[in-house]
A and B are shown apart, each in its own frame.
Chain A
């Protein structure tokens, strides 16, 4: 099947098997940030935006993205750079495997709710599993970033 979608701002047309998964398609098109962690829709590592909504790319047949906009971390470098250092400062990035999905979903959270409480941060990121950090460092990192922003330190 032939599909056309906008990937990180670039229109691409490709021929795909009907059951190609979006995750595989994205990796084949140079988006190495998109990784497969569980393949059972449970870990959040493969998060990308489909028309600006965070979704699990391991769970979407790419034919469903036909005519739509897909954004990966490769297309959001600037937005991610704003807060990623705060997370690293808290030691929350250990093996780093969960990081791309976590960063994508944090961007989605902050776009939807620019001033979340810690409970709102935890609730929004509940679908992003991390085997190393215990999550506290990540919450602290986001909090530190939000505080820095409020205090005009950014």
Chain B
């Protein structure tokens, strides 16, 4: 599966670069260690050969379109195209500068789940073959099914096929991951306030405030983030609970009505914090209250910049 799509990406990228249709192709390349693919900027036909497609293309490269002034092609699966629409809508990206190479995502893999299968052993090499993963390392080689090791957000994905594209790579595939996105938030919703606070604290207690989640997110493009602002200082610099909570509550809220549940934040986190717990609650509320899902239409107004006279207001008073 993987290989012939990689070949196709390389070939198309090569053509686009040789014909000078685009200046750069943004895609993925092999990481320095297994299961950690990196973002690749191919600027010459030779560099196009570095491009690959695998189950670990978990970062959201739409972030790198922000501010590009020259024609750029981008390899984009469903969630990435949704973020591109968001960025065009927020005037960060010009549609005419982007050449979208749409691609169906088979559901990306979670390197942490796979590593957890081999405690104390290091995976040196890993291949994907159809719906199987083959991992090998010192003294072992094992085959296991792909579908048990996907990222959480890929199970509940609703748009695996690109929402917009200029050119399609490979075939369109199934549109959904099969899971129910509302369930991400429901375990907390059933609890009482003190228990919720307890699991909330528990979920975020290991955060080291490295801001990888913010830096990976295509929505976080402010010149000055609220966490970096010194005057007023919204959030202290420590890893003390109140500061970590402030950071995560506000980070999630700043993504309200814009987050496409691409999961780049969770994939980028070095300690495995599940911050989608917060963003998916907001996503669900906005969908239920205002009937809006982000990144589906180029002319849709963002839900929190808009209003309707009969918005729910049961909480007021």
On whether the two chains bind one another, the answer is: no
